[in-house]
Amino acid sequence: MDRFFGGNPGVVLIRLCILSVILGVLLSALGLDPRDIIDSFMRLLERVYNMGFEAIEWALRYFLLGAVIVFPVWLISRIFKASSRGQGSLKHRSGQSDV
């Protein structure tokens, strides 16, 4: 336990408490309140969360815009390839040449 805490856990806990009180006095003198810090942190998390979903929305919008063209063209090309393969194999089976 001493190794994890960097010394006797009781002494380390007392030092942390004293340091917290000193820092609290300094922050109070600067006009900061713990609720302000927590509210600012929560707003930061909310903005990061919203940015993430805005990025997903942006990517989805461009995906759909491109997909309107890409998928039908792909589907049409697959249909034409399948039909040309089907006709070519029928010709070879019936003894006709492609020439």
The residue-averaged pLDDT of 60-65 equals: 90
Q: Are 12 and 6 contacting, i.e. CB atoms less than 8 angstroms apart?
A: yes
pLDDT, mean over the chain: 83
> What digits encode the pLDDT tens for the residues 4-50?
777 888 898 999 999 999 998 998 898 888 888 889 989 988 988 88
12, exposed or middle or buried, with CB in 10 Å at 0-12, 13-18, 19+? middle
pLDDT at 99: 46
pTM over 0.75: no
pLDDT at 21: 92
